[in-house]
Structure formats: C-alpha cells, structure tokens
Amino acid sequence: MPASAYESLCAHARETALLTSTAGLLQWDEETYLPPAGGAYRAEQCALLAGLIHQRQTDPRVGEWLDELESSGSTSDPRSDAAANVRGLRRDYDKKTKLPPKLVEELSRTASLGQQAWKEARQADDFTLFQPMLEKTIELKQQEAEAIGYEASPYDALLDDYEPGETAANVARVLGGLREQLAPLVEKIAAAEKRPDGRVLSRHYPVARQEAFGKRAAAAIGFDFDAGRLDVTAHPFCGGAGPRDVRITTRYDDHEFAGALFGTLHEAGHGLYEQGLPAGDYGLPLGEAVSLGIHESQSRMWENLVGRSQAFWRHFFAPFAEAFPDALAGVTEEAFYFAVNESKPSLIRTESDEATYNLHIIVRFELEQALLADDLLVADLPEAWNAKYREYLGIVPPNAADGVLQDVHWSAGLFGYFPTYTLGNLYASQFFDQAGSDLGDLEGQFSRGDFQPLRDWLRTNIHRDGRRYSAGQLVERVTGKPLSHEPLMAHLSTKYGRLYGFD
C-alpha cells in the first residue's frame, strides 16, 4: 500500500479541518458575542476562509492521491479504515469538483438574492415577489443535478448532499407509508375529547432557573461541558470549533419554558453525536457524521423519545417543580406530561408537535420533488401548498406568510434538505426500538435518571463509526432491517393513544 499517498491525503484533510473548524468558531461567535458593528468585517473573514477551504477541497493533488490509491488496489478491502476514508474523501472531492465554477457562483448569488426576495415577500405576504427568484433557483438546481449526475431522478442528486447514497424513491416509499397512517392518527388526536391544559406551559418561568435546569438536563443525558458549551442565540444550533469543542445554543422566554428546554435537549442530542465521534479522526470521514438525517435522529431521540417521555418526567418532574414552585403549584406530573405533549394540526412547521411535524415535512418533500421534475409550476405552488395542508392536516393557511413562505430553505437553494428532518424521526424510532431490545428496560432507567446505557449504546452503535457506513447501511446493520415507517408510527400511535385516551 502506497502509504505516502494515503498519509498525504489524510494530512491534507486534517489541515483543511483546522480551517473549517476555525470558520465554525467565526460563525458561532457571530451568533453569540460579536459586537453589532463587527458584522461586515466578519463576513469578509468568513468569505476568505471559505475561499481557502474551497481551494484545498478542490486541490488537484487530492484527485491524484485518490486515483493512486484506487488504482493501486490498496483500498480493495472495503471494511478497512483506509477504504472508508478514501470512499468518503472521493465522494467529497467529486462533489466539490463536478460543478462548473460559474454555476457555483450563480447558485451562491441566487441564494443570497433569493433570501432577500423571500424576506421581502414574506413581509409583504406576497408570493409573487418571491416567484421569479424561486423559478431561477429551481432552474439552477436542475442544472446542478445534471452536473452532479443521478440514476433515477434529478432530486436524487440534490438529496445526496444531505443524505449520501439515499434516493428519492426510497424516501418516497417510507414517507408515503408514514403519511398513510399518520394523517388518520393526527385526525384522531384532533377529534379526541380528552385534552391537555396547555396553560401551564405559559406561566412565569424565570430565565436563570430555566438555564440552570436546562444545563442540568443536558449534563444528565451526557453532554460533556468540559468539551462543550451552552450559550444563547436567536436561532438555536449545534456548532463547534473542534473535536472536543462542541457548542450548542438555545433561547429563553420567561413565559414559555418548553422551547428552551426541549431545544436544549435537541441540540445536546446533536452535541452528543459530535462528542461521540472519534476525536482522533476529526477531519476524516471516519470522524464525521453520516448524514443530516442520522444527525437529526440523535437530536430527535433525546428531545422526543427521551425528553418528552413519561419516564423522563418521572425522574425530572419533582426537581422541575421545585425549581418553578409558582408556575407548577397544583400541577400533577401526569397533567404536566400531557401538556408538554399536546398535539394538534397547526400552520407553522417549527412550532408543530412530535406527531404533526412529519406531515409538514411530507408536504414539502412532495412539493419540492414536483417542482424539480417540472410537474408543478412555481406559479401554482401556493395553491398546491394549501391543498396539501388541507388534505394532510385538515387546515388551510390564511396567507402566504404563514403558508408557502414560512421556511427559508428553498430561498437559500436547499432542495432535498426537508426530508432529513423526518428521516431523523424515523431513524430515531428504529434505533430506539433496537436499543430497547438490547438494553432492556429503558423506561425504568430513565425513571431513575440513568441515561448512560442509551448514551453508551449510541456511542457504540452509531457515533464511533463516523461515516464508515451510509445511513441506509447503518440502519440495516444496527437494526437488522431497512428503514421503515413502522417504528415511528407504532411509537406515535401508542403514545398519543394513551395520552388522548383512544388506545
């Protein structure tokens, strides 16, 4: 094996990671502590680093090293670490070099203008202000798909950016199966007579105590504050500046604790994944996350399957009620658990609940596929949007701002991104079922405040392999089955059936 080519390739990738992680710090700082007047210069710093990073990622030497390694047969054992790294780096290199620079530039400019147009359109509640830029964006994304190449549909090429190796057909199969069963369940929940009292959620929860409790919960599930931080930003995220430097954020509202607390658990779930990746392989495929969907499976699992579970609150309700004695005076654990799991059809994706959320995603997934396949004209998008909301959720947005214009994604050119959210929920449930089989009484463990078995299971089965496997391979490997809508559907049916009294 020509060690020098492999060593050069890895050293190059690791050095690039020093720059991408530095860019990560610039971005984190921009969201947290950058003085207002520093924004313009920060943009220049980010642009320079992005340029240096792109230069390194498309360095022809990378292609030469890869060619040499592939032709020498040194990566013929696909199970070897080297083969996994070479596969991953080959994919990245091809992705970065396949697009003509002119198209990259135009995509970037259009994304910037598109977001401006989208903001204006949303403010004016007028889709037509955004329509020309969206048409342009779709045209460019179609060109991008052609340049990247695909087997079955252009959508595959775009999906691959976020979910490497995944296909539109397979996602359609699973999301389709989910939709068929979820829409009736959501209808059933909406029609149930038993309802939670959601008013408890909007009582007064002093922010300092929310912060203390959120940190306690994040630490309890295993987020390592020696190798990470929790700060406040307008838009919560999980970022970082290195393998042992994972930075999550949340935002507080003293009359709404759920957003901050479940948001913290969500980002801590992302953070646990980042902290669980092999630090020694940072910058190499073996030290990187599999896909957005797998990343989201980790955040959704800790937020929903753990954080919104009855067992979690069996452990945490008492200290929570102690931290907020006024807000929770006279509230039972059962009533509280029901309140944090209220479900009902609503207009806004980001404010929806564990069950309805997925229908919001399915609407978007179906529409963006149709747009890219030229089966739907942009001019007809608002109507199609509203029709799908009526069909799947039983409600119709009263305006474009709360309907087709609510998300930034399409304006930024992010086509193929939406399904990763629901894929996250699907992976999460399938993994969680397997963890339950392997570990026994998860509920009992959570009730005792013991989250270590699950965390260790995730480390062993998901985190430590980096992106050695694709998401599909990983699911099959860990659970013995291909991805299916059934575990999530079973979870939601059981949970909401019990809560709303129709099980």
Query: What sign does the dihedral 350-356-362-364 (CA atoms) show?
Result: negative
267 is catalytic: yes
Only one residue has tokens 């909301």, namely: 389
What letter would DSSP give residue 231? E
CB of 427 within 8 A of CB of 298? no
Q: Kindly compute the dihedral angle of the four CA atoms of residues 417, 423, 427, 430, in this order, to the nearest 10 degrees.
A: 180
Does the protein bind a second copy through residue 59 (CB under 8 A)? no
Instruction: Output 279 or 396, the one with its CB closest to a second copy.
Output: 279
Does the protein bind a second copy through residue 34 (CB under 8 A)? yes
State the DSSP H helix or E strand holding residue 73, giving kind and residue range, or none if neither: none
Max alpha carbon distance in the chain (Å)? Answer: 72
Of the candidates 267, 274, 354, 368, the residue annotated as catalytic is 267
Give the nearest distance from C-beta 18 to a second copy in angstroms.
5
Helix (H, G, I), strand (E, B) or coil at 238: strand
Instruction: Output 47 or 152, the one with its CB closest to a second copy.
Output: 47
Helix (H, G, I), strand (E, B) or coil at 214: helix
For a second copy, which stretch binds (CB under 8 A), given 39-47, 121-129, 325-333, 424-432? 39-47
Instruction: Output 69 or 272, the one with its CB closest to a second copy.
Output: 272
Does the protein bind a second copy through residue 198 (CB under 8 A)? no
**Per-residue b/e over 386-397, b at no fewer than 16 CB within 10 Å?**
bebbeebbeeeb
Does the protein bind a second copy through residue 63 (CB under 8 A)? no
Give the nearest distance from C-beta 111 to a second copy in angstroms.
22
DSSP 344-389: ---S-GGG--TTTHHHHHHHHHHHHHHHHTTSS-GGGHHHHHHHHH
Rounded Cα distance between 246 and 25, Å, is 10
Mark 223-262 with x for binding to a second copy (rule: CB under 8 A) and - for no binding.
-xxxxxx-x---------xxxxxx----------------
Q: How many residues form the binding site for a second copy (CB under 8 A)?
A: 36
Mark 260-299 with x for binding to a second copy (rule: CB under 8 A) and - for no binding.
----------------------x-----------------
State which amino acid sits at residue 287: G
Instruction: Output 228 or 263, the one with its CB closest to a second copy.
Output: 228
Determine which residue in the list 3, 44, 208, 326 makes contact with a second copy, applying CB under 8 A: 44
Instruction: Output 215 or 244, the one with its CB closest to a second copy.
Output: 244
Question: What residues make contact with a second copy under the rule CB under 8 A?
Answer: 15, 18-19, 21-22, 25-26, 29, 33-38, 40-42, 44-45, 48-49, 52, 224-229, 231, 241-246, 282
Active-site annotation, residues: 267
